[in-house]
Structure 1
Amino acid sequence: MRKILRFAVPAVAAAVSIVLTATSAQAAVWSSSDKFGSWSNGGYTLNNDVWGGGAGPQTIWANSYSNWGVNSNQPNTGGVKSYPHSGRTVGRKLSSLGSVTSSFNVSVPGQGAYETAYDIWADNNADEIMLWMNKTGAVGPIGSLQTTVSVGGHTWDVYRGSNGSNAVFSFLRHGNTNAGSVDIKAVLNWIKSKGWFGDVTLGDVQFGFEITSTGSALNFTSNSFSVSSS
């Protein structure tokens, strides 16, 4: 569960930090320690997205929409603290899309509580589809287990629920992976085939790190990421 208003940027978000952490990419072209620091590049928008209660400091840096990362220091308490991400808006009906695919490659720590996940929004944020590519520590999805399915190039446990604002469909991959690709349209078509939603309009396709706790400052890096649609 996260804030829906991902790309809302307060006035202070325009302030860009020029000091990176020692372990960040020293040649990064942009960085910010603002909670909702945001940067647009190549048709994508990056956001620090520190939205949870009791959150600690976090700095996002980027060389491009594809190569970016965060240094995050979150307390060992429950509840999601942040979802730093890169995202692209598709803005088309599912039936009009020939394909929607994405690929990613990340470097993540072996400690803390977090997942690397797609957060996909449809029908003006009425529906949220999460694709968990890896998870570490005490984290879990919203809702109840519905079934296990192989679709979009992966095998998932599928959960269905609500966060009180929108429906949430969470796909938890069998086995962690830090690199790969996914057929997003196939996943959306499968949800539609279950009657859980109709011919929805695909909005933002976001990808990043949903962080609950780190215990100390940890680094999360997107080495590459892209979304393609036709």
Structure 2
Amino acid sequence: MRLIRLGVAVATTVLMIAATAVTTAAPAHAAVWWSSDRWGTWNSGGYTLYNNIWGSGFGAQTIWANSPHNWGVWADHPNTGGIKSYPNATRYIGRRVSQLGQVTSDFNVTVPTSGVAFTTAYDVWTTDHAHEIMLWMNRYGPVGPLGSFQTTASVGGHTWSIYRGSNGHNQVYSFIRTSNTHSGWVDVAAVVRWIRDRGWFGDVTIGDVQFGYEITSSAGGRDFVTNSFSVTG
């Protein structure tokens, strides 16, 4: 009887470990697609999802998607400095500012708020990758924007603290929302026109509109969930 009980205990422990491994490597809600590959990508409905573990000193990360509008990531990055990844969903626009028309986006996320360092952010690029516009919707932990403070302005449906600088490869315009939000709507075209009207760039062509999580640390494994997301325009 003792051996039987011992065998049952060992078997139970093994099953628990296996269950934990499955949970972290392939979330149960990843019904359509998931990837733990550093550069894993998936195309669906005019969007591309990227796992995008681009930094150094990174840990494990798995991206999953039920659709390009409902997706998320489990990330276990160490508590060290430097951005480790930017898992995101991307929609390509491909129009000049003068011909941009209406480009809007809505989002709803569930994210960890303690023991982490990250921002939930849009990343809008010109097609030549000379200009990058970041829209920080929320941020937690020791993270901050590149460049120097320029002004505070209300544009695109939000009030932002606005920074401008260069990372050595491209100009970066960081719009940091003055208070965190986990859901909302943003007028991307209005932000782009605001930058042009200040003379920071001309009639550039807007390419990718990305939305995701710029993660510096998430030790122990944390879930970042995009409940809904879309780009219109």
Matches within 5 A, 1:90-169: 90-111=93-114, 112-169=116-173
Are 1:207 and 2:214 an aligned pair?
A: no
How far is the alpha carbon of 1:124 from its aligned partner?
1.4
Match of 1:11 in 2: none
Task: Tell me the TM-score normalized by structure 1.
Answer: 0.89
Conserved 8 A contact 1:20-1:26: no
Q: Work out which of the residue numbers 55, 66, 70 in structure 1 matches 2:69.
A: 66
Would you say the 8 A contact 1:120–1:130 is kept in 2? yes
Alpha-carbon distance between aligned partners in 2 of 1:22 and 1:203, rounded to the nearest angstrom: 32
CA distance in 1, matches of 2:215, 2:76: 10
CA deviations on 1:69-111 (whole Å, 9 max, x unpaired) are 0100000000000000001110111111221100000000112
- Higher helix residue share: 2
Aligned residues: 211
Which whole-Å CA distance do the structure 2 matches of 1:22 and 1:88 have between them? 27
Q: CA deviation at 1:24?
A: 3.1
Asked whether 1:41 is paired with 2:44, we answer yes
- Please tell me whether the aligned partners of residues 20 and 61 of structure 1 are also in contact (alpha carbons under 8 angstroms): no
Query: Could you say if the C-alpha distance between residues 25 and 178 of structure 1 is closer, same or farther in structure 2, counting changes exceeding 3 Å?
Result: farther
Q: What is the identity, as a one-letter code, of the residue corresponding to 1:189?
A: R
TM (normalized to structure 2)? 0.88
Aligned position for 1:76: 79
Per the alignment, residue 179 of structure 1 pairs with 183
How far the C-alpha of 1:215 sits from its partner, in A, is: 1.8
Q: 2: distance between equivalents of 1:119 and 1:130?
A: 5
Task: Show the counterpart of 1:197.
Answer: 201
Alpha-carbon shift at residue 20 of structure 1 (Å): 5.3
1:32 maps to which of 24, 31, 35: 35
Indicate which of 34, 50, 54 corresponds to 1:51: 54
Contact 1:122/1:128, CA 8 A, preserved across alignment: yes
Question: What letter is aligned with 2:221?
Answer: A
* 2:26–2:34 contact (8 Å) kept in structure 1: no
Larger mean CA deviation between 25-34 and 59-68 belongs to 25-34
Could you list the structure 1 runs, at least 4 aligned residues long, displaced by more than 6 angstroms after superposition.
Answer: none
For the 8 Å contact 2:127–2:208, the answer to whether it is kept is no
| Partner Cα separation in structure 1 for residue 65 and residue 23 of structure 2 | 10
Offset at 1:28?
Answer: 1.9
How far the C-alpha of 1:123 sits from its partner, in A, is 3.8
Structure 1 counterpart of 2:17: none
The residue type equivalent to 1:191 in the other structure is: I
Please provide the CA RMSD for this pair: 1.2
The answer (yes or no) to whether the contact 1:31–1:62 under 8 Å persists in 2 is yes
